Amino acid sequence: MTETRSKVRLENHEPGVELDPETTKSAIVELLYRNGEYGYQPQAVHEELDIPHNTAKGTLRRLKQEGYIDQTEDGYYHAREDREDLSRYVGAVDGLDRMLTEYDAESEGEGTASDESSLTEEEIEDSIDVFEDEE
């Protein structure tokens, strides 16, 4: 059963982004949008993410069909410049990863990251809201 929310934070609401951060689909979107200046062939995605070549190839094809990414005439897949929502999604995933990494380091007694890389309360809320909007 899917839970419908009656209220969302509009600046983070991305109705066209249906990604789960724990999936190969999301990992490929994250790779391409973090490295928007590059195009990748399936072999490179396979090597970068350590996933089976056929999985990389099939997922790239589906992501292109669904409008998440684009492809050059000679076969390189890349981030789309017009999908700012996906850039924000990747930023939210990165923010949540930083937050969890800092929490893990603090929990293990290793101390926290420097104040320069610490997340503000607003950044944490925004990261959480993006994931809640996905549900």
pLDDT in tens, 33-88: 999 999 999 999 999 999 999 999 999 999 999 999 999 999 999 999 999 999 99
Closest CA to 126 of 4, 29, 34, 14: 14
Provide the domain count of the chain: 2
* CATH number of the domain that residue 59 is part of: 1.10.10.10
Write down the pLDDT at residue 73. 97
Residue range(s) defining the domain that contains residue 103: 84-134
Do residue 103 and residue 88 come from a single domain? yes
Q: What's the whole-model pTM score? A: 0.65
Do residue 59 and residue 99 come from a single domain? no
Is residue 1's pLDDT more than 50?
no
Is there a contact between 113 and 105 (Cβ–Cβ < 8 Å)?
Answer: yes
Share the mean pLDDT of the chain.
81
Q: Is residue 64 part of a domain?
A: yes
Residue 126 CA, distance from chain mean position: 14
User: Percentages helix, strand, coil for the chain, rounded to the nearest 5?
Assistant: 55, 5, 40
Is there a contact between 85 and 69 (Cβ–Cβ < 8 Å)?
Answer: no
Q: Model confidence at 124, in pLDDT bands (50, 70, 90)?
A: confident
Is residue 114's pLDDT more than 60?
no
Do residue 65 and residue 91 come from a single domain? no
Q: Which range (12-26, 44-58, 117-131) has the least confidence? A: 117-131
CA–CA gap between residue 98 and residue 47 (Å, rounded): 24
Q: Model confidence at 130, in pLDDT bands (50, 70, 90)?
A: low
Q: Model confidence at 109, in pLDDT bands (50, 70, 90)?
A: low
Do residue 72 and residue 91 come from a single domain? no
